[in-house]
């Protein structure tokens, strides 16, 4: 499903340098990513999503070498094949919850908004326990409810890969476990692969594999 080979990445300014000799994730895997602040965990997700491209090396997702594709091709591939869940949720306050969930279908021609899609959005909302919030707006929802909206939006196109960046970072302990459980069950139900950045050691038992970015830092064993 996911393969990174000989990755070398630097931002145009600053001293940040990310080097990943090899990283692979099998289809259906649920992989947690941990490591020190500033080590490159979010950069990894952006490289996998094709938001960033490495200076050297390759990123392959579901047999597509996205690191060598054009901006447009990467964007269309990301929208149709990768679900992104952000720590800050990334919801639009001026849209109601239903339109926030449907938003990926309104920003690209790569996805077609149909009656079936609208029905699936409602089913996802029911599964996440927010079906009664579809006419509400993000500021009216709790942190946990907004996170569930973000998960619905990420899952709606049926992505093969889910990338989650501290998806439970803003939640209290009770809701962290609840939302993560909902996410894992949804990923399994939709036969997706999960790559999730987390700083919470208590949640690592949920993953079937953990990647420690400490291994990629200079002077550390790879």
CATH topology for 2-216 is Rossmann fold (3.40.50)
pLDDT of residue 179: 77
Query: Does the model's pTM come out above 0.85?
Result: yes
The torsion defined by the Cα of 151, 153, 158 and 160, in degrees rounded to 10, comes to: -60
The 3-state DSSP class for residue 21 equals strand
Q: Which residue has the higher pLDDT, 220 or 62?
A: 62
The 3-state DSSP class for residue 64 equals strand
pLDDT of residue 187: 82
Out of 128-137, 174-183, 196-205, give the one with best mean pLDDT: 128-137
**Whether residue 222 has pLDDT greater than 50:** no
Q: Whose structure tokens read 């990338």?
A: 163
**Whether residue 60 has pLDDT greater than 80:** yes
pLDDT by residue (tens digit) across 62-120? 999 999 999 999 998 998 999 999 878 889 999 999 999 999 998 888 899 999 999 99
**β-bridge mates for residue 56, sequence order:** 8
The 3-state DSSP class for residue 147 equals helix
Residue 218 pLDDT grade (very low, low, confident, very high; cuts 50, 70, 90):
low
Q: Whose structure tokens read 């094949």?
A: 81
**Whether residue 38 has pLDDT greater than 90:** no
Residue 219 pLDDT grade (very low, low, confident, very high; cuts 50, 70, 90):
low
Where helices occur in 88-162 by DSSP H, the ranges are: 97-102, 115-127, 143-155
pLDDT by residue (tens digit) across 170-191? 777 777 777 788 788 878 887 8
């Amino acid at each position: 499903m996911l393969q990174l080979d000989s990755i070398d990445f630097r931002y145009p300014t600053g001293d940040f340098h990310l080097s990943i000799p090899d990283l692979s994730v099998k289809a259906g895997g649920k992989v947690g990513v941990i490591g020190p602040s500033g080590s490159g965990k979010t950069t990894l997700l952006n490289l996998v999503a094709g938001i960033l491209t490495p200076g050297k090396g390759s990123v392959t997702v579901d047999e597509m070498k996205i690191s060598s594709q054009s901006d447009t091709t990467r964007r269309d591939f990301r929208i149709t094949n990768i679900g992104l869940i952000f720590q800050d949720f990334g919801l639009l306050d001026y849209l109601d919850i239903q339109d926030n969930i449907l938003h990926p279908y309104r920003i690209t021609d790569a996805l077609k908004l149909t009656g079936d899609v609208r029905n699936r959005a409602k089913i996802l909302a029911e599964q996440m326990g927010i079906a009664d919030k579809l006419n509400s707006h993000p500021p009216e929802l709790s942190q946990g409810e907004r996170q569930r909206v973000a998960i619905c939006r990420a899952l709606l196109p049926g992505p093969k890969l889910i990338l989650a960046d501290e998806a439970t970072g803003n939640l209290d302990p009770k809701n962290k476990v609840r939302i993560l459980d909902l996410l894992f069950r949804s990923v399994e139900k939709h036969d997706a692969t999960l790559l999730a950045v987390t700083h919470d050691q208590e949640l690592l038992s949920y993953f079937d594999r953990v990647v420690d970015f400490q291994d990629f830092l200079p002077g550390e064993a790879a």
